[in-house]
Structure formats: C-alpha cells, structure tokens
Homo-oligomer: A and B are copies of this chain.
Amino acid sequence: MKIAITGKGGVGKTTLASILSHIYSSEAKKVIAVDADPDANLAAAVGVPKDEIAKIKPIAEMADLVEERTGAKPGASGGIFKINPKVDDIPEGFGYQLNGILLLEMGKSKFAASGCYCPEHALLRRLLKHLIVERDEIIIVDMEAGIEHLTRGTAEAVDAFIVVVEPGQRSLQTALAVKKLAMELGVKRVFVVANKVRNNEDLKFIKNNLADMTLLGKISMNESIVESDISGLPSYQASTQAVEEVREIKKNLEKVV
C-alpha cells in the first residue's frame, strides 16, 4: 500500500500520517514513513525523542550525499547532473528506525516547481519514485499541498491520495486543487479525510463541498491532540478516540483500494 497524504498547511496531515503508520506497524507490517513536507515534523509525531530528532539529518541537506549521487553540488543549476541517481540504499542507510517504522526525512530543499530543477530535487524525486514504485513496504508520505514534485510515473503508482480537510472553505479549495493536479498526473484515487470535525454541521458542510471526491472518514476535533503538540506526546498516544477514527478510515480505504 502506497499512501500520499496532502492538504492545506495545519489541517492535520502529520497527525493522520503518524497514526496510520503506527496502526500498520502494530499489525507487524513494515512501514516507511516519509516526511516530505519541510513545514511538518513527522519525527516528533511518530514519537522520536526530542534529542534524537535534532540528530536526524534530512536527505536534501546531506551535501556530500547529494554530490556523490548526482555528481553536482546542492543548489547547482544549469550544470550537468545525473537525473537518475542511485537511491536504493538510502532508506536503510539514512532512515531512523522506531518500533517497526523506518522514518525518512526528505529535508528542506523544497521541491522546486515543475521545470525548475537542481541536484537535490533530482535525488529526492528519484528516492520518492524508488519508495513508491519499487518497494514492498507500506509507504506513507506526508507531503505538501503542492504535489508538483511527483513525476507522472510516481503519481500513477500511488494507491491512494488522501487530502485532509477541516471545516472551512480554504482547505476544501486546496483539496479541489490537489484533486485537479492529481488527475493531470494520472492518479485515479483521490480521497478525503475530514479533520477537526466539531459536530454534524461541520461534517455536512464538508460533505456538501467535496465535489465528487470520496470521504474516507473523519477525525473529531480533539483537545488531546492540541495538547499533545504542547506536551510533545506522539499523536497515536494522545487520543484513543483519534486512533479509533483512523482505524475506521484505514478500513474504508482498504475497501476501496
């Protein structure tokens, strides 16, 4: 199963990605959790201790690795570099192991807009393709709303795109934009998860604004999750209700994929 989770900033992509990773790993499945959003912190959400997080060096920031694999220094532009670098040893070599989850931090060199290309993007794109197209593990990618950094071949191999929304027009507009982009890239299955749902009104509002996207389920507005960001508790430990709701989402996902 290859799952890409997207949506507007702050909607709860990382919460969903981390809980889903833990549910799969609790079923003894091998999971690779990929933090591909420079604005997220999947490491903290899956439960990597604070002092360990500081030691994780994101792939895009490993200048030596970028140069070794692509033949060009990070940030080089216009020069010649390999667009098909070797990456298959990177997950095990540079990932962080935690309770059956292998965490990969893609790093801060934000994937450039299509056409804007430099060595670290070449490396990250190739790595993402390797994970999604060539691996057998459960792959869960926490990514930005901009999904332009997926090449067509990679996007087609994603089993499910999940766009997280909250009650509000803005995150729903982002969802529609993601859906459009995903379709252009050849993705067939784009689903929605509603987060921060306070009541039936909220859920109705979201359902009424989904256009033709399928709602996989909801995660209720949850003070425990808000508090967990203050206390530093991993999401899956913060709220049994949220974990149960994500279990339901996973069940619905498996019915349709």
Contact = CB atoms under 8 A, between A and B. Distances in A.
B39 A174 contact: yes
Contacts of A78: 77-79
Interface residues on A, range: 35 or more
Interface in A179-233: 202, 205, 226, 229-230, 232
B75 A113 contact: yes
A174 B44 CA distance: 13
Contacts of A146: 38-39, 108, 110
A173 interface: yes
A38 B173 CA distance: 12
B74 A229 contact: no
Contacts of A113: 60, 75, 108-110, 112, 118, 120
A185 B76 CA distance: 20
A121 interface: yes
Question: Could you say how many copies of this chain the assembly holds?
Answer: 2
Interface in A105-157: 108-118, 120-121, 144-146
A144 B9 CA distance: 10
Contacts of A226: 167-168
B115 A116 contact: no
A10 interface: yes
A169 interface: yes
A150 to B, nearest CB: 14
Contacts of A173: 41
B230 A74 contact: no
Interface string A58-90: 001000000000000011111100000000000
A9 B39 contact: yes
A173 to B, nearest CB: 7
Given A9-B39, A10-B8, A116 B118 contact: yes
Contact of A116 (B39, B116, B205, B230): B116
16 contacts: A9-B9, A39-B145, A77-B77, A77-B115, A77-B116, A108-B113, A109-B113, A110-B112, A112-B112, A112-B113, A112-B116, A112-B118, A113-B118, A113-B120, A169-B229, A202-B230
Interface of A: 8-11, 38-39, 41, 44, 60, 74-79, 108-118, 120-121, 144-146, 167-170, 173-174, 202, 205, 226, 229-230, 232
